Structure 1
Amino acid sequence: MAHTHAEPSTSTTSLFVTVLLNLLITVVEIVGGILSGSLSLISDALHNLSDGVAIIITYIAMKLSARPNTERYTFGLKRAEILAAILNSATLIGIGAFLFEEAYHRFRAPEPIAGGLMIAVALTGLVANVIGTLLLRQGSQQNMNIRAAYLHLFSDAISSVAVIIGGLAIYFFDIAWIDPLLTVIIAAYIIYESFAIVREAVNVLLMGAPSDISLPQVQQALETVPGVQNIHHVHVWRMNDQDIHFEAHVDVADMPVSQCQQIARQIEEKLHELHEITHVTLQFECNACSVKGLVYNHQ
């Protein structure tokens, strides 16, 4: 069966535009945060700065992962995007921790805040972040690396909404404590979502089976293929978001290689039908293994 690869649909132009938007927002919000005295606005600016860096990392990782396989890197550099997703998410977690600390100090020593300026700047940031999320939305559904960058922008859009609400509360009701409170909420959301991406990326790096694949069910399905007596010593892992690899030992009767090839084609078709698996390696044997567990444990 031919190996097929899904390419991220997010274009270089989309990434470039989002970088420019984030750099613009960062400058505007830092200046606005300093002038207005709003910590939540400055926190939003720092988040936006990390967005720009994240998107640059995303672009570099996409280029690396598209490189062809070589004798040294026989799988290519497809996991560059997974590493980028971890790096981006780790950066967000660090920013979240920093914001918690700053909010704590602001709770203890509140400062006067210009609510009107805070609202105006946050509105500018919201518009830019919404544009950025729309540009990356489609690609985020197919690629973990782009999803991490998308999360940066999406969480920033939410942050901007929160800052606007806080600005309104400060402007009309002079509730200064809402600024650090919003900062804490924003930081908690950032950390929560980032850990989810890190957990998924680490599972890929540790060659864990995709969560939606049940090995016993796969074994049961493949053993219905005519000629297959037993499927054992199964390995399933993801190379990246798109490529799932499968390898297994296949017990068959003593037969010519040509017949094994026919069975292999049927197994490949079934795996593609069940889970869109396109990288399949099969070891055909005739009662060669004394231990035929679904998963082989080395002693």
Structure 2
Amino acid sequence: MNETKDPRTGQRFALAFALTLAILAVEVVGGLVANSLALLSDAGHVVTDVFALGLGWFAVRQAARPANASKTWGYHRAGIVVAFVNALTLLAITVIIIVEAITRLQHPATVQPLVMGASALFGIGMNLVIARFLGTPHAHAHDDHAGHDHKHELDLNTRAALLHVLGDVGASVSVILAAILIALTHAAILDAVISCAIALVVGFGAWRVGRDAVNLLLEGVPKGLTTEGIKQELRDIQGVYEVHDLHVWGITDTQRALTCHAVIDDIPINASAPLLDRINHMLRDRYGIAHTTVQFERRTTRGPASLPCACSVDCDCVGTVIEKRAVGHHA
């Protein structure tokens, strides 16, 4: 694998985890003192932040572990599982907040806007510091991302954690606005209204992260790619007559893999190396696919076809070539 681990990522998660614990303590105490559902809802979200950042920190440490005989891709997917769990917890919190807010709409409670606003302001300051640390893209080897849009350099695990943090900033801003309006109008019902709004925004973001994580766990086609589009690009390469049995998936959201069969002329095995080179470079440069296995099927009209399997790993142009025969396989 060509991706370079950045040890600072784990340090950022550790710092974010510690600061989030401080935010949680302040908002829980402030929410209880102010009797504010909006602030307690934000604190509930912070609980999931603690969970998310703790698991995220764990996932970063796991991803840094080297591949072995039983985990040939290493532990990169630990972050995908964590992102999925984070999304589920956020969706659960969303439902709880909305149910409680509906109760408050029917039975408004008195709140203390000054305590409510001050606690939320503290949360904003700390969350902005956390977002600054988490939002710095990780380091990687440039050739592993060729053809990949660099605005997506944050991995899914970090994106999920950053979503938690930015969701808290938005929620805290809403809490401060609600506190100001309640202080001016004495309309305590605004506390419940803001709670519902916070929950819906957070729930929508959780749905998106969960959807991306599920697609990766099910080894779906990466976002922005189509199998037909890739097949056509391969057919356009001189010397490739047909492509079939193509599979493309994400190992993580920043690493992609592909396998396929390509029908080529009946040429000596060694003569197919330049064609394999062109295929691998196109897949890497055009689609950011750096892990490829291409099996060549020789185009022939003489009985069963001989199928040399040209396999390349990590876009290494000197592939491993294996000669084998397919019984009853015709062009």
- Fold conserved between structures, TM > 0.5: yes
Following TM superposition, by how much is the alpha carbon of 1:206 offset from its aligned partner in structure 2, in angstroms? 1.1
Do the aligned partners of 1:238 and 1:245 also contact (CA within 8 Å) in 2?
yes
Query: What secondary structure, in the 3-state scheme, does the structure 2 residue paired with 1:226 have?
Result: coil
Write the distance in 2 (CA, Å) between the matches of 1:243 and 1:70: 18
Write the distance in 2 (CA, Å) between the matches of 1:211 and 1:47: 28
Query: What secondary structure, in the 3-state scheme, does the structure 2 residue paired with 1:278 have?
Result: strand
Q: Show CA shifts across 1:184-225 (max 9, x none).
A: 111111111101111111111111111211222222222232
Residue 199 of structure 2 is aligned with which of 187, 190, 206?
187
TM-score (norm 1): 0.92
Deviates more, 1:61-70 or 1:200-209: 61-70
Counterpart residue type for residue 35 of structure 2: G
1:187-226 equivalent positions in 2, closer than 5 A: 187-226=199-238
Structure 2 CA distance for partners of 1:9 and 1:200, relative to 1, 3 Å:
farther
Residue 296 of structure 2 is aligned with which of 269, 277, 284?
284
Residue 269 of structure 2 is aligned with which of 257, 262, 271?
257
Structure 2 CA distance for partners of 1:102 and 1:14, relative to 1, 3 Å:
same
Match of 1:121 in 2: 119
1:52-63 equivalent positions in 2, closer than 5 A: 52-63=50-61
Counterpart residue type for residue 230 of structure 2: V
Do the aligned partners of 1:19 and 1:52 also contact (CA within 8 Å) in 2?
yes
1:227-238 equivalent positions in 2, closer than 5 A: 227-238=239-250
Deviates more, 1:108-117 or 1:6-15: 6-15
Answer 1 or 2: which has greater helix percent.
1
Write the distance in 2 (CA, Å) between the matches of 1:82 and 1:8: 18
Answer 1 or 2: which has greater strand percent.
2
Structure 2 CA distance for partners of 1:175 and 1:291, relative to 1, 3 Å:
farther
Write the distance in 2 (CA, Å) between the matches of 1:9 and 1:66: 8
| Pairs aligned (count) | 290
Following TM superposition, by how much is the alpha carbon of 1:163 offset from its aligned partner in structure 2, in angstroms? 0.2
Write the distance in 2 (CA, Å) between the matches of 1:235 and 1:267: 15
Write the distance in 1 (CA, Å) between the matches of 2:253 and 2:136: 14
Structure 2 CA distance for partners of 1:131 and 1:291, relative to 1, 3 Å:
farther
Structure 2 CA distance for partners of 1:291 and 1:208, relative to 1, 3 Å:
farther
Match of 2:19 in 1: 21
Write the distance in 2 (CA, Å) between the matches of 1:170 and 1:241: 44
Query: What secondary structure, in the 3-state scheme, does the structure 1 residue paired with 2:193 have?
Result: helix
Q: Show CA shifts across 1:112-135 (max 9, x none).
A: 111111111111111111111121
Match of 1:96 in 2: 94
Match of 1:173 in 2: 185
Counterpart residue type for residue 99 of structure 1: I
Following TM superposition, by how much is the alpha carbon of 1:10 offset from its aligned partner in structure 2, in angstroms? 5.7
Percentage of identical aligned residues: 30
- When the two chains are superposed, the root-mean-square deviation of aligned CA atoms in Å is 1.8
Structure 1 gaps of 5+ residues are 293-299
Following TM superposition, by how much is the alpha carbon of 1:6 offset from its aligned partner in structure 2, in angstroms? 5.5
Structure 2 CA distance for partners of 1:25 and 1:187, relative to 1, 3 Å:
same
Q: Show CA shifts across 1:82-123 (max 9, x none).
A: 100000111111111111121122112211111111111111
Counterpart residue type for residue 126 of structure 2: A
Match of 1:154 in 2: 166
Match of 2:82 in 1: 84
Match of 1:41 in 2: 39
Query: What secondary structure, in the 3-state scheme, does the structure 1 residue paired with 2:265 have?
Result: coil
Do the aligned partners of 2:55 and 2:82 also contact (CA within 8 Å) in 1?
yes
Structure 2 CA distance for partners of 1:270 and 1:141, relative to 1, 3 Å:
closer
Write the distance in 2 (CA, Å) between the matches of 1:257 and 1:8: 40
Query: What secondary structure, in the 3-state scheme, does the structure 2 residue paired with 1:286 have?
Result: strand
Do the aligned partners of 1:10 and 1:136 also contact (CA within 8 Å) in 2?
no
Do the aligned partners of 1:253 and 1:286 also contact (CA within 8 Å) in 2?
yes
Structure 2 CA distance for partners of 1:53 and 1:118, relative to 1, 3 Å:
same
Write the distance in 2 (CA, Å) between the matches of 1:155 and 1:76: 31
Structure 2 gaps of 5+ residues are 138-151, 300-304, 306-325
Deviates more, 1:109-118 or 1:282-291: 282-291
